[in-house]
Amino acid sequence: MIMLMDALTVEKDRRRQTSKEEALRRQMGQEVLRRLGECLTATPLPRWYFIPNGDEIVVIHNKDGAGSRQRVGAWALDEQNRLTFGAEKTEWITTESWARVIDKAVAAYWRQNYDLTHILRRDWNRGLGKKLEGKIHIYVGDMDNYYLNNAVYLAEDFLKGTKEPFYGGEVDYGDRAEHCWNGDHTRANAYSRLRYHQMFAPKIVERVLKSAPKGADLKAWRYWRY
């Protein structure tokens, strides 16, 4: 009988401790969500909304007006006390890792929504590739002041390997060129930026001729030498 009472006491203590740990975990999770919400709303993003909803932060995107609001996803906590946003997960949340978790959570959100190369990889075979076929033209100096050429290398690696469809565009690098290089290998930026229409009008015409629907009038509007 004494052994049974001892066992019951141990079990009650275990459940009480488990309940306390669960309450603490939930409290920590809510605090992390609150701080995450503060980070996401610190700089307003037009047409993006982050709405606290219990144990999650719902992400809404308004594309074209009040009637086009779309739920993109939600930040929430999984059973292992990690922040999740779709397939993206952070490390475990502890009192020591709050700030680091917030940084990783924000980085994961931005990767899903603003990392263009990641989005191309993720959605190319979901219809995005067909929409962008022949439309991607990237120009960057290989000595960009902000090292943006490094990101372009990654984008080019992906684009060169695309199939069904192949991207059919252009990635070009300016030899020892700085930020804002625009594809002109013959002039400095200060001059080439004054002739964008001369540089890109022929490319636009070429694209129109190539992609025009059958039966379209391709002559009446071509009254200049392009």
- 17-39 per-position pLDDT tens digit: 667 777 767 777 788 888 888 88
**pLDDT confidence tier of residue 226, bands split at 50, 70 and 90:** very low
Q: What is the DSSP letter of 226?
A: -
| Angle separating helix axes 116-123 and 148-160, nearest 10 degrees | 10
Mean pLDDT of the residues in the chain = 86
Cβ 122 vs Cβ 61: under 8 Å: no
Cβ 120 vs Cβ 147: under 8 Å: no
Q: Distance (Å, rounded) from C-alpha 106 to C-alpha 29?
A: 15
Q: Distance (Å, rounded) from C-alpha 138 to C-alpha 182?
A: 8
pLDDT score of 101 = 83
pLDDT (mean) for 37-60 = 87
In the chain, DSSP finds a helix count (H) and a strand count (E) of 7, 7
5-9, 86-90, 114-118, 210-214: lowest mean pLDDT where? Answer: 5-9
pTM above 0.85, yes or no: no
129 versus 92: the higher-pLDDT residue is 129
